[in-house]
Structures are given as C-alpha cells and as structure tokens.
Amino acid sequence: MNKNQVNGSLKDAAGKVQEEVGKLVGSKEQQVKGLGKQITGNAEKSYGDAKEIIKDANK
C-alpha cells in the first residue's frame, strides 16, 4: 500500500463524514464539499492502485 492509496482512502472517508454532517444540519454546501472530497479521494486512491499495479508488474 502506498501513500496515495492511504491518503485517498482518508479523503474519501472524511468526505463521507462531511456529507453526512451536512445532511444532519441541512447544509447543501457541506454535502457538496463532502462529495467533492470523496471524488478527490477516490481519484487519488485509483492513482495509487495504478502505481502498485505498475510496480508489481515490473518485479
């Protein structure tokens, strides 16, 4: 597991929490920010996954 996978997973989790808090307090802005973090986190995790695949293929 590399840092991109870890950071991506953390951002995704933080985004899910932010989205749910936004729902609880009725803030569409917080919900959208949370969704944005999730998208960013998933993209970074996917990048990390690709790096691992390439690294493993070069062994």
In terms of DSSP H, where are the helices of 1-59? 3-25, 28-57
- pLDDT score recorded for residue 15: 98
- pLDDT score recorded for residue 39: 98
Tokens 């998933």 correspond to 42
- pLDDT score recorded for residue 56: 93
Spans of all domains in the chain: 3-57
pLDDT in tens, 2-54: 999 999 999 999 999 999 999 999 999 999 999 999 999 999 999 999 999 99
- pLDDT score recorded for residue 59: 81
